[in-house]
Amino acid sequence: MPFPIPEPRESGFTQSTHVPLYWAAYGVAGAPRVLVLHGGPGAAHRYVLPQMLRLGERFDVVFYDQRGAGRSPTATTDVVTWRTQVADLGCVIREFGLAHPTLVGYSWGALLAMLFAAEATTDPALRPPGRLALIDPAPVTRQYRTAFEAEFARRNESPAVRAARTALAASGLRESDPVAYRQRAFELSVAGYFADPVEAKDLTPFRVVGRVQRSVWESLDDYDLQPGLARARARFGVPALVVHGREDPIPLASSTAAADALGAELLVIEGCGHVPFVERPEPLFAALDRFLAPILPLAPDPAAAGSRGPT
């Protein structure tokens, strides 16, 4: 079963976005701030918790529910696009006073971070990122997304998953224990993301707002982020880390292309699917700690502190 999620240190709603967006802060108050972008589109931030709270051991970590989902709902008539999400991210960055924002993006959130970096090359209202940590980013081209969709569908129709769905339907659990039934049904719905589907039990369940998911992907159309990422690299030279699970249904070639375009380090985690914060947290957080270490203040030098200096 999923792990409990602690209450945030602070929370509230943005004031500068077109729609108020819910945010939650965890970790060390006053430490360097890291902005975490959850996946989706159309999901909310809680499903990356509590595992991603490990960043809060050294940083002030802020999450927010992107427009149209979680505690940041919109009217059913509102159309949410990738440009909507990029503009919202720009507002959140300004509202939190982040001059050179450190962005940690997961899945769609990593793609959002890359879209933001690319748009910042031509939009002076967007503050360029200071550092990008991209965890199993969503596909960087329409072609790679098509390949992902086919692989994910194949995994979901594997004999093991089909047998598990049949067993659940015949178990009577829907009537005898609806909570347990919903949990198991969720695990099976996301099984294709995992190297070992058993580990899906530790992922916090979530729902995706379908209309938001559809409208965002439709707005991207036949997209290719690689030229925009190359422009961001040339303009800003932003340090970047791309992490990819070897068994992710998203092609490794997509993350390789993103890393090449950004001039980023690429870390491939063996025995891991799309959810490394659940499946392989140790190598993931070791890499994040190393990559984010430069934004931490330097520790005082004990030898220097003990010296009185010249007299």
Pairing of strands 102-106, 240-245: unpaired
A 10 A CB-CB count for 259 gives 22
Task: Give me the pLDDT at residue 296, please.
Answer: 92
Pairing of strands 102-106, 60-64: unpaired
Domains of the chain plus CATH, in order, are: 10-149+206-294 (3.40.50.1820)
Q: Which residues, in sequence order, are CB contacts of 34 under 8 Å at separation 6+?
A: 55, 59, 60, 61, 62, 102, 103, 104, 292, 295
Task: Give me the pLDDT at residue 303, please.
Answer: 54
**Structure-block tokens of residue 80:** 């949410």
In this prediction the pTM is 0.94
Task: Give me the pLDDT at residue 299, please.
Answer: 56
Helix (H, G, I), strand (E, B) or coil at 94: helix
Task: Give me the pLDDT at residue 252, please.
Answer: 98
Q: Which residues pair with 36 in a beta bridge?
A: 63, 104
Find out whether 7 and 63 touch, Cβ atoms under 8 Å.
no
Closest CA to 78 of 260, 215, 202, 174: 215
- Residues 184, 49, 136, 232, Cα dihedral to 10°: 150
| Proportion of the chain above pLDDT 70, given as a percent | 95
For 9, phi then psi, to 5°, come to: -65, -40
- Would the pLDDT of 59 be above 90? yes
**What sign does the dihedral 107-110-112-118 (CA atoms) show?**
negative
177, HSE (Cβ side, Cα atoms, 13 Å): 8
Task: Give me the pLDDT at residue 114, please.
Answer: 98
pLDDT digits (tens, 9 = 90+) for 68-107: 999 999 998 999 999 999 999 999 999 999 999 999 999 9
Question: How is the chain split among helix, strand and coil, in percent rounded to 5?
Answer: 45, 15, 40
4 band by pLDDT with thresholds 50, 70 and 90: very high
- What does the alpha-carbon distance between residue 45 and residue 69 come to, in Å, rounded to a whole number? 9
Closest CA to 85 of 33, 52, 40: 40
The string of DSSP codes covering 148-167 is: HHHHHHHHHTSHHHHHHHHH
- What does the alpha-carbon distance between residue 297 and residue 88 come to, in Å, rounded to a whole number? 29
- Would the pLDDT of 140 be above 80? yes
Find out whether 61 and 26 touch, Cβ atoms under 8 Å.
yes
pLDDT digits (tens, 9 = 90+) for 195-218: 999 999 999 999 999 999 999 999
Mean pLDDT of 174-199: 96
